[in-house]
Every structure is written in C-alpha cells, then in structure tokens.
A and B are shown apart, each in its own frame.
Chain A
Amino acid sequence: MNQIGESDTMIMRYLDGRLSPVEAAQLSAELRMHPRGRGALRDIAEQAGAMAELARIRGLSPAPPAPAVPPANVFRTRLRPWQAIAALLVFGVGVALTARWWMTRDNRPVLEVLSIVGDLSWTGVAGQQREMLLPGERLPAGTFATAGEGAVARLRFSDATSLILAGNTRVALAGRGQKRAVLYGGILSADVSPQPDESPLIIETPTALLEVLGTAFFVSADADHTTLSVERGRVRLRRLADGGVVEVPAHHAVRASFKIQDSLRPEPTRMPGTHWRLELDDGPAEGIRGDWSGARDGSTSHLTAVPLLQGGKRGSYPVIHHGIGVREPSRPSAGSFVTLTPTSAVRLRYRVKQPATLILFMVTQQPGGQFGGNYEFRQPTSELSPDRDGWTTVSVPLSRFVPLLAHHPNHPAGNAISYLCVRTIDPEPELEVSELRIDAASP
C-alpha cells in the first residue's frame, strides 16, 4: 500500500468528490487489497452519518451540495528558450542537493507496523514526529512509543524479526546492518530471525545489555531493573553495573539491576499458580498503582483510583481513565503473576460514589512470555446492589471477558496475567477497591 498519508488523502478526496475516474480506479484497487482502508472508510461514513443525525436533532439543515468540481486539469505553459534553460539548471541543482541530503539522512524504512491497539508514535533521528501510526506504515530508524497500559504494537523488520511493544514502552530501533534497540522503559517481546554471528541484535536497557542471535524472548525494563525471559534460543545479558555476563537459555529468566550483590543466575521460568490475591494489609507493593489507605475505624484497607494513561488522544489531550493497576515485575515468570484456567474468575470488592461503567482489563502472556492478548469486561455499577457501607462484591468468570484484538482467542485460558486493572472512564466515581483476587474452581 502507498504511504498511509497518501491513501488517507485519496480517501478524503474521494469523499469530497474530487477524484478523477483513473484515481477512483486506483483507490478501488488499493481498497480491494487492504481491509484497513475499507475499515477506515466504514468508520468515516458512520461518523458522517451520526453527525448528520446530530445536525438534524439540532435543527440545522445542511447547505445544498456544492457544484461538482472536476479534477484539476493538467495544463501547459510555453517557456521562452532562456526560461527553459534556467528551469533545467534549477531543476538539476535541486536534484543534486536532494540526492546529497538523501544519502546523508537515511530515511529509508526499516520497520513495518503490523498491528496496533492504543497509540503508537514515532520520532525520527532528525526530530521528525508522527503520532497515531497505522498498520501498514513503514518507517525509518527512530524511537517508537506506545502509550497506555493496554497498548500493544507489533512491528517487523525486513528479515521478519518481529517485536511487540506493550504498555507504556519507549524503544529506539535501528535496523540498517546490525539491528540495535535501546529500551528506555516498558515491555518488549521479540521473535528474532537468525542474525549473523558477527552482528547479533543488541538491546540496551538502563541496567543491561543483551545480545541476541536468533531466539524468542521477553524483556521488561525500567530505570532500576531489567527482567529477561527466554522462550527459545539463547540470549547473552551483560549487567551494566559491574559487567557481569550470563547466557540465558530457553525457558529461563534472569533479573538485572544496579545491585551487584544480586545473583545473575538464570532460573527456570514457571507459569505462576492459578490463585492470586492483592495484598493490601501491609501497604502497597511494588508495581501497584493506586492510593493506598490502611484499615482504620472499622474500614478495610483499600486502594483509591488514580489517573491511568490509556493512550490515544481526545482532541489534543491524552486519554486518561481512573483506576487501580497491578503488575508484579519482580516475578521470574516474565512478570506474569497468575495463570488463567477455564474456571478462573476475578473477584472484586469495590465502591463508587456515583454510577459508572466499571471496566476490568487484563494483559496476558502466553507460556514463555510472548504477548497473549488484552481482555476486557464492562458492567454498569447501577446493575448491582451495594451493601449498606456502599461496597459491592462481584465475581466475574473468565468467560465474560472479551478479547480486544480480533485475532486472539475468545478466552485466555492457559495464559497468565501480567497486568490487571480496574477502572472507570471518569474520575467522579472515585473508585475504591478493597479486594481483588483471582481463583480457579476445582475441576
């Protein structure tokens, strides 16, 4: 497909009635091949229809259709000979300058965007910026960033090496010759095609340096820790604090930080157990998002909702929901903390100050750490009855969750949760959570 910008413009020109028959045929050819473009057309048409209905409700009548504007005609001018020579000279110099600029600023695409949930942006090495990237876009080296806990972006190099960025992740990627990545923070999983021995894929984090020849692995990083879990092949990790090196084989994981006294010995990865409970009595643990309040005056310990970045934009502002989020990054099981079974259920005790739509959201991983899909359950709080203290207890079976990506299985049984979130869209309900657990019924 052409660069997305060109196709977007063609679609808008078509809707404006300004495509020539040849251009309309070209657009038809592209739409025939690319479902993404067809989806965009459907969305625009539905939005236009909804806006027309709003206009009718408001009592506005649309302006009469403007007269059709035929496509711009190509026209010719006659140049005098000296003008033609001058034009050629200017053109020739322009070509030379452009070629020099092109060769010194490698803008050739190295990565293709395969799919996106949420928001993905790109900043080029010269500072160019693109936001809200779309599947099918091809981009040069630069920094890619996903925004929002549920954001997921799949990217691919030309040699079929694929990467998945999840959550709030920022990574710089370059792929001409030796592939290099700088993971500033977040979660990256990769399926790496075999690389030449002399030029492995290099991944840098704030605390570690990874060398990858051909493997599938998962790495999460923040300013203080790097967790590496290898599904296939081997990855060499160097701890930056002291230069300690370890080779991590398949089905093993290791954690590197600035604490050089910590062991760098890889441990076998294990899927976590099928029961899990959010512990609140002793204060908030690492990885928990929410304002903690201890038990007092007869009330139980609980977490109060905080703003959670969702990714995407409302106008020019980021989308922010309000809730509590749970990660357990120190787990050796690639950060996942509970394995889901067909009989799993999420039990929640919550309180809101006004009716809202309650959203339960989970990010899952397959055994081995590869991204397993995002799943969500929604329910209006008005459909449930709280107790006299305003608390409501609900148990949601796994079967009630729906995938947010069409190609993921309907139910994530067999996957493990790496991030769990309870939230509302707006802040006014002031959501509180005093119990959050996941249990699996005995078969």
Chain B
Amino acid sequence: MPLSQESVVRTLFAARHRVTAAVWLLTRDSGSAEDIFQNVSVKALSGSATFEHEGQLLSWAHVVARHEALDWMRRRRPEISVLDEDVLELIEREWTAAPLISGGKVDALRSCLERTPPDSRHLLELRYFEGRSCEEVSQILGVSLDAVYQRLSRLHRQLKSCIEEHLPPASSMATGPAPA
C-alpha cells in the first residue's frame, strides 16, 4: 500500500537534514540546499510518484536532489569541480542505510558549540553561519588558508565526538524498568 501524504511528509521531515546535507556536498551552499530540498518535497507530494515504503521514498529523494543539485551547479557554478557521481551515489546509499535519529542533532550541536572555545566558535560561525569562503575566513582571522583547513578539519572531528556523546545509541531507549 503506498505511503500516505502524512507519512511522506513525516519521513521527509525526519530526513531533511540528511537530504540537505547531501545536496550541500554538491552545491556547497546552504541556501540552495534548502531550496532544492523544498523542490524535492513538492515533487514528492505532487502525486507524480508513489512510494511503497520509507526506504523507497528516501532513495528517490536523494536521487532527485542529486540531479537538481548537479543542474544547479552546471548553471550557477560550472567552474567548480564535483565528485564523481558513483561516489555521490555511494555516500547517499550509506546515508539511507543508517538509522534516522529523529530530532536532537541540532540541539546537540547547539550544546556542543556553546562548549567550543570562542575563537574556534568564531571560525565556525564565519564559515557556516555566514557562509564565507575559507579564503575570506583566513583574511578575517589573519591566518593562512591551510591553517583554516586544518582547524576546520579538527573542529569537525571534535564536534562529531561531542554530538555522539549527547545522542543515544540508535536502539537503547527503554520504555520503562523491566520487572525487578
């Protein structure tokens, strides 16, 4: 039986971070990632495609998002190189296979950013909140471009560890104490 509209909306909402992240890997622009996700959602709800289960919907959403992102890149930023399409497919398959963690990641990230030292937080805000290129960040901070790359790389690893610490393992939540 095909998924209802409500199920489609709920599934896409739960997976929105993942789908927009996949688009961002191509466009490297959060605004376009959000726009493309909205386009994909509209297409999913338009009735032109039906989905028998959530996995099928998520695979479809990733494929459609990838094609839209590649079109966007060809039109807007043809000079910027992208990864080979089979690698992008592989990354999307790994995303689709991983369990969805409903909610919590943004809150976990917020908490982790609050604990990040001010200079590191400033670097992240310049790059991801304000969307500046690494070259602009290096000029603002007065450090080399390589230093920006290395610091960002380390900060991302630290954030990953912090976020994982705040999120439960996928299936650990008990519904109540077992009989003693």
On A, residues with C-beta under 8 Å from B are: 5, 8-9, 11-21, 23-25, 27-28, 31-32, 35, 38-55, 58, 60, 62-66, 68-70, 119, 132, 134, 310, 312-316, 319, 345, 347, 357, 376-379, 383-384, 393-397, 400-402, 404, 425
Would A25 and B84 count as touching, CB distance under 8 A? yes
Q: A51 with B157: in contact, given A46-B17, A66-B136, A400-B172 (CB under 8 Å)? A: no
Task: Give the complex CA separation of A25 and B84 in angstroms.
Answer: 7
Question: Does B177 sit within 8 A of A, measured CB to CB?
Answer: yes
Q: Per-position contact with A for B87-118: 1 when CB-CB < 8 Å, else 0?
A: 10011001100000000011001101101110
Q: Looking at the assembled complex, report how far the CB atom of B94 sits from the nearest CB atom of chain A, in whole angstroms.
A: 6
Taking CB atoms, residues of chain A closer than 8 Å to B77 are: 17, 65, 68
Query: Which among B4-12, B58-66, B159-167 touches the partner chain?
Result: B159-167
Q: Which residues in A have their C-beta under 8 angstroms from that of B160?
A: 43, 47
Residues from chain B with a CB closer than 8 A to the CB of A132 are 154, 157-158
Q: Is the CB of B94 within 8 A of A20?
A: no
- Residue numbers in B under 8 Å from A69 (CB-CB): 133, 135
Contact, CB under 8 Å: A395 / B180: yes
Known contacts A65-B29, A313-B158; A41 and B177 CB within 8 A of each other:
no
- The answer to the question of B128 belonging to the interface, with a C-beta cut-off of 8 Å to chain A, is yes
Knowing A68-B80, A319-B165, A425-B166, say if A62 contacts B133 (CB, 8 Å). Answer: no
**Neighbour of A384 across the interface among B154, B157, B176, CB < 8 A:** B176
Number of interface residues of B (CB under 8 A): 76
The answer to the question of B81 belonging to the interface, with a C-beta cut-off of 8 Å to chain A, is: yes
B162 proximity list for chain A (CB < 8 A): 312, 314, 319
Q: Are B17 and A49 in contact (CB under 8 A)?
A: yes
**Complex alpha-carbon distance, A315 and B165, angstroms:** 14
B70 within 8 A of A: no
Are B31 and A62 in contact, CB atoms less than 8 angstroms apart?
yes
B82 with A396: CB separation less than 8 A: no
Quick check: A27 and B180 within 8 Å, CB to CB? Answer: no
Q: Is the CB of A51 within 8 A of B124?
A: yes
Cα separation A61 to B37 with both chains bound (whole Å): 18
In angstroms, Cα B136 to Cα A66, docked, is 8
* Cβ-defined contact, B30 with A48, below 8 A: yes
Given contacts A384-B177, A395-B180, contact A312 B83 (CB under 8 A): no
B83 touches A28 (CB 8 A): yes
> A residues within 8 A CB of B87?
28, 31-32, 38
Given A8-B153, A393-B180, decide whether A32 and B90 contact each other with a Cβ distance below 8 A.
yes
Which 3 A-B pairs rank lowest in CB-CB distance, beginning with the nearest?
Answer: A62-B131, A24-B81, A52-B30
B:42-56 near A, CB below 8 Å: none
Asked if B22 and A45 sit within 8 Å, CB to CB, the answer is yes
- Residue in B17, B129, B161, B169 whose beta carbon sits within 8 Å of that of A319 in the complex: B161
A27, A32, A49 pick with most chain B CB within 10 angstroms: A49
Chain A residues contacting B20 (CB-CB under 8 Å) are 49
| Most chain A beta-carbon neighbours within 10 Å: one of B31, B80, B120 | B80
* Residues on B with beta carbons closer than 8 Å to the beta carbon of A316: 117
| Given the contacts A17-B80, A47-B160, A9 and B149 also touching, CB distance less than 8 Å | yes
Q: Enumerate chain B residues within 8 angstroms of A44, measured Cβ to Cβ.
A: 156
| B74 nearest CB across to chain A (Å) | 13
Q: A41-B25, A47-B109, A49-B24 are in contact. Are A12 and B169 (CB under 8 A)?
A: no
- The residue of chain A having its C-beta at the shortest distance from the C-beta of B179 within the complex is A395
| Contacting pair A12 B128 (CB below 8 A) | no
| A-B contact list, 8 entries, CB within 8 Å | A8-B150, A9-B149, A21-B81, A47-B156, A48-B30, A54-B106, A396-B178, A425-B165
Closest residue to A55 on the B side, CB-wise? B129
Are A312 and B149 closer than 8 Å at their CB atoms? Answer: no
Shortest Cβ distance from A385 into chain B, in angstroms? Answer: 9
Residues of A within 8 A of B165 (CB): 310, 312, 319, 425
* A38–B120 touching, CB < 8 Å: no
Q: Tell me whether B174 is interfacial, beta carbon within 8 Å.
A: yes
Q: Are B170 and A402 in contact (CB-based, < 8 A)?
A: yes
